[in-house]
Chains A and B, each alone.
Chain A
Amino acid sequence: MTAGTSKLISRQKPTRLARITQHLKREWQLYLMLLPTVIWLLVFLYKPMYGLQIAFKDYSVFRGVAGSPWIGFEHFHILFENDQFLRALKNTVIMSAYGLLFGFPIPILLALMFNEVLNQFFKKTAQTIVYLPHFISSVIIAGIVITSFSPSAGIVNTILGWFGVDSIYFLTKPEWFRPIFIGTGIWQEAGFQSIVYLAAIAGVSPTLYESAVVDGANRWQMMWKITIPSIMTTIIIMLIIRIGNILEISFEMIILLYQPATYETADVVNTFIYRQGLQGGQYDFAAAAGLFNAVVAFILVMTANTISKRYSRTSLW
């Protein structure tokens, strides 16, 4: 047959460079498609990372990022002696922890409850309504909160008035800030967060329930013996991820709701940075706080990702 003829005209093996050139000639359009995104990421997200060096510099607007003199860890020393920063750090963790404690179980509960609804129309309507607040802007939510808790006209004080309680100006009371903030967060997001668990429940094989029915289980037993064990992996992964994101608190909402009177319990790291840097002009100092926050958050998130990846892999078997 033809074996052997190839050896006569065998070419030189293409070099690496030649292969890459050949590849680019074939696929240059793909790289052209990727280019805008890469440039955007460089200009808007990676370049600021370069700008983070001002955390170690005595930054002045006129000298710019590169021209300002290095001062080492001075900002960090000041930072860790700054009571306001330490308070903000503490508030961040406390509010996240409370948010987790009260906010984490509710979406799971909601998903389990939705799953038990037999009437599809009722189920769809209920879902449509509880998902809605997620899509409403924090300004509007804050507006609703401010209006509802207003001392003069707010519905909360109106209701309290029925029971003879004197009007309370909630948003100026440090002790009320955290319950209001966390409650608002749950009200806004719990419905939406239940989607993940509903999807996990939808993935449970119906034959499990059918065989349980044949075995005489009631709905309560099926929920405990089938549904919950089946979505346990999802629950644990979500929990790990939430713990990993403990520094990522929705500071937009805090900026909208807090005031000097409530800083004591309301001020978190990002609102502290916002005030010091963007309102106060202490860019280098605020950037140092931001860097600290970002690095710790990154480590937490990566750890959580790693753990959840390992968990989800091993738990498959």
Chain B
Amino acid sequence: MSNMNLYSRGDKLFVIVNMVLIAIFMLSTLYPFIYIASLSLSTGFEARAGNVVLTPVGFTLEAYKQVLSEPQFWTSYKNTFIYTIFGTLMSLAFIIPGAYALSRPQLYGRRFWNLTVAFTMWFNAGLIPFFLNMRDLGLLDSYFGIIIGFAVNGFNIILLRNFFEAIPQSFEEAARMDGANEFQVLWKVYMPLSKPAIATVALFCIVSRWNGFFWAMVLLQDEDKIPLQVYLRHVIVELSDDEEFANSLLTSAYSFETVSAAIIVCSIIPILLIYPFLQKYFSKGILLGGVKE
């Protein structure tokens, strides 16, 4: 199929026009990132004057110095790492055994248990009851509350369950005849066999933990506990309305805009670092999870 000479002139034109259109879409996806990166490396004066279009104007690292010298930035960065790492581990500790149990045909009431999980994907009580429940449980303003309160997610359970179900039953049977108990079957056979699926779920957890902001904003008041996204919101969204503040930040070296852009760049970097792994797994994961109930 790859021999261009086999195609007619019309086909060649079609292929070329198609590539140009994709290139345009690709560039329009990429451009905002380039713009932000350039902005973060430009001087405050040039940024304010609207002179930054594609490349940095008046290259400077002042905005980054400003961001990195802010203690709250480091506190929330550290908190995000805590929520991401422990939150993901917590999620896996619930999801892996749960999905395994749900995938076993010998489980009594399997349909009922699966429905119990799936129902939470279609119906949830909403913001207010969830918030009041967290408050009643004493989980406001606590690391543990954020980590445990979002540990389980129906989609991830069903995704992993589907994967476990696709592994021939005889692997479990062989291991059980060899003397393994269910925990050993899961640990020594099913988990090694499901590395891609578990990696997918782990990556989904990592991304949603890293990006999660709404509940952290609602549940956490203490500035020592807020994650990066909440801090980011505070700086970019709330302060952007504050003309006076924005002006006070303006120096020849950096401005409110370049500082915002620098924070954005700093918080995207970890996602970009795991993106190659994400890309390897997520399309498979989407399709696995798509096979519902």
Q: When A and B assemble into the complex, do they touch directly, with CB atoms less than 8 Å apart?
A: yes
Give the B-binding residues of A (Cβ under 8 A). 20, 23, 27, 29-31, 33-34, 36-38, 40-41, 43-49, 51-52, 54, 64-65, 110, 113-114, 116-119, 122, 125-126, 128-133, 135-140, 142-144, 146-148, 150, 152-155, 157-158, 161, 187, 191, 195-196, 198-199, 218-220, 252, 255-256, 259, 270, 273-274, 277-278, 283, 286-287, 290-291, 293-294, 297-298, 301-302, 305
Give Cα A126–Cα B22 distance, bound, in whole angstroms: 7
* A166 to B: closest C-beta gap in Å: 13
B68 at the interface (CB under 8 A from A): no
- 7 A-B residue pairs with CB within 8 Å: A20-B108, A33-B101, A46-B120, A113-B21, A132-B275, A140-B264, A278-B128
Q: 0/1 per residue, B172-197, Cβ < 8 Å to A? A: 00000000011100100000000000
Q: A199-B283, A290-B126 are in contact. Are A126 and B214 (CB under 8 A)?
A: no
Give Cα A303–Cα B25 distance, bound, in whole angstroms: 35
Chain B residues, Cβ within 8 Å of A38: 98, 113, 116
Give Cα A155–Cα B46 distance, bound, in whole angstroms: 12
Give Cα A298–Cα B260 distance, bound, in whole angstroms: 39
Chain A residues, Cβ within 8 Å of B257: 147, 150, 152-153
B254 at the interface (CB under 8 A from A): no
Q: A116-B18, A155-B35 are in contact. Are A218 and B8 (CB under 8 A)?
A: yes
* B258 to A: closest C-beta gap in Å: 9
In the complex, what residue of chain A is closest to B186 when comparing beta carbons?
A: A33
Assess the A196–B286 pair: CB atoms within 8 A. yes
Which one of B2, B127, B261, B283 contacts A270 once the chains associate, using CB atoms below 8 Å? B127
* A280 to B: closest C-beta gap in Å: 11
Give the A-binding residues of B (Cβ under 8 A). 1-2, 4, 7-8, 10-11, 14-15, 18-19, 21-23, 25-26, 28-30, 32-33, 35-36, 39, 47-53, 93-95, 97-98, 100-102, 104, 106-108, 113, 116-117, 120, 122-133, 136-137, 148-149, 151-152, 157, 181-183, 186, 207, 210-214, 218, 229, 232-233, 236-237, 240-241, 255, 257, 260-261, 263-264, 267-268, 271, 275, 278-279, 282-283, 286-287, 290, 292
Assess the A298–B123 pair: CB atoms within 8 A. yes
Chain A residues, Cβ within 8 Å of B233: 139, 142, 256
Chain B residues, Cβ within 8 Å of A302: 122
How many CB-defined contacts (below 8 Å) exist between A and B? 274
| Residue of B4, B35, B97, B275 with highest tally of chain A CB at under 10 A | B97
Assess the A146–B22 pair: CB atoms within 8 A. no
Assess the A143–B25 pair: CB atoms within 8 A. no
Provide the main secondary structure of the chain A interface.
helix
Q: A23-B108, A278-B218, A290-B127 are in contact. Are A33 and B100 (CB under 8 A)?
A: yes
Chain A residues, Cβ within 8 Å of B271: 135-136
In the complex, what residue of chain B is closest to A20 when comparing beta carbons?
A: B108
Give Cα A64–Cα B149 distance, bound, in whole angstroms: 21
Assess the A65–B132 pair: CB atoms within 8 A. yes
* A187 to B: closest C-beta gap in Å: 7
Q: A34-B102, A140-B232 are in contact. Are A129 and B26 (CB under 8 A)?
A: yes
Which one of B10, B93, B124, B278 contacts A45 once the chains associate, using CB atoms below 8 Å? B124
Q: A29-B181, A199-B287 are in contact. Are A132 and B126 (CB under 8 A)?
A: no
Chain B residues, Cβ within 8 Å of A143: 36, 232, 236-237, 260, 263-264
Which one of A40, A110, A297 contacts B25 once the chains associate, using CB atoms below 8 Å? A110
In the complex, what residue of chain A is closest to B7 when comparing beta carbons?
A: A219
Q: A218-B11, A252-B214, A294-B123 are in contact. Are A52 and B149 (CB under 8 A)?
A: no
Give Cα A62–Cα B137 distance, bound, in whole angstroms: 15
Assess the B97–A218 pair: CB atoms within 8 A. no
Give Cα A114–Cα B120 distance, bound, in whole angstroms: 35
Give Cα A63–Cα B23 distance, bound, in whole angstroms: 61
Assess the A129–B30 pair: CB atoms within 8 A. yes
Q: A140-B264, A256-B237 are in contact. Are A30 and B104 (CB under 8 A)?
A: yes
Give Cα A286–Cα B125 distance, bound, in whole angstroms: 12
Chain B residues, Cβ within 8 Å of A65: 132, 136
Assess the A51–B133 pair: CB atoms within 8 A. yes
Assess the B32–A34 pair: CB atoms within 8 A. no
Q: A33-B186, A49-B125, A219-B11 are in contact. Are A283 and B132 (CB under 8 A)?
A: yes
* A298 to B: closest C-beta gap in Å: 5
Chain A residues, Cβ within 8 Å of B133: 43-44, 47-48, 51
Chain A residues, Cβ within 8 Å of B48: 152-153
